Amino acid sequence: MSLRICAATEDLHGSLKKAIVEAGQASVDGVRLNARTELENAGLTTSAQRQILLYAREHRLNIAALSCPTRQALFDEEYLEQRIEVIRRSMSIVRNFETDKLIIRVGRIPDPTEQQTPLSDSGISSEDPLGILTPAAQKSESEQYSMLCELLNELTTYGNHVGCTLTLQLANYDLGRIERLLTDVKGGPLQISFDPATAIMTGAAVIPVYRSLYQHVGFVRGRDALRDVDGAGVEVAVGDGIVEWIELLPTLAEADYQGWVSVERTGGDHRNADVVRGVQSIRRLFPSSAL
């Protein structure tokens, strides 16, 4: 297999066109586009979307995937209808870019075994005596989990109709909850976006987590991170953290991973330069010919 590396255009300079030009100069094979800020929310017509695809091709780039980031957890009841509608619209355009992946943020997977918070005799939650929590916060973990499954079943069913594979960006790697969620969602294809930086920042072991999930991984985020002495984590540029890329990349090959590695930098003052340097670092550590 060959290692396919892409970059997120939102991490690069200026407009989408300038970002595509810069990606083409950075020795990547493709780009990951933001469906909300760069495509759908910009009001682009189908013809305009086609022009973006052709422009990427002119620079010898494929579209690796689209992302549709939302601020709240997928199952949060606040603005729920609007959130689902935005995701559905993003799912409907992935084929216009000759890809099939839409990456969405799901948030923390609720505990499916945790029951309703006990109520006092007055009917008020003992954890919310002033009655000031939102309805979503008052729901039990198991109710939130059921809602999450319902939403994902609805979205994956829709994905079957429009040729889109929903790919989940997770807040942590609780393997038991992830495996149960993947089992309980039966509407259509569902994959995981694996992020070694998230594993590092939440105290999970990168290689064992990937080995446990590899059959479900449809996208890999090329991010790096450090752990603080107090247990907190922080994202850093690829190569500046503690992700063992020289071990992770061969592990992808061993698992016959066929997807993309998206070198990303979500913070810092030099995001575009960090991305370019990260691509060079991965190419140097493990050139495609070695796979």
Domain ranges within the chain, ordered by starting residue:
4-118+131-290
- Report the range out of 17-26, 36-45, 137-146 with the highest average pLDDT: 17-26
As a whole number, the mean pLDDT across the chain is: 89
106-126 residue pLDDT tens: 999 999 998 765 444 444 444
pLDDT number for residue 52: 95
pLDDT digit string, tens, across residues 199-236 = 999 999 999 999 999 999 999 999 999 987 777 789 99
> How far apart are alpha carbons 68 and 103 in whole angstroms?
6
- Find, among 53, 56, 85, the residue nearest to 68 by Cα: 85
The predicted pLDDT at position 137 comes to: 53
What number is the average pLDDT over the span 231-258?
A: 93
| Helix 46-58 and helix 16-24, axial crossing angle in degrees, nearest 10 | 20
Model confidence at 14, pLDDT cuts 50, 70, 90, reads: confident
Whether 291 has a pLDDT exceeding 60, the answer reads no
Domain 4-118+131-290, CATH: 3.20.20.150
- Please tell me the distance from the alpha carbon of residue 257 to that of residue 238, in angstroms, as a whole number: 20
Asked if pLDDT for residue 128 goes beyond 60, the answer is: no
159 closest CA partner among 83, 86, 85, 102? 102
Q: Which pLDDT score, from 0 to 100, does residue 44 have?
A: 79
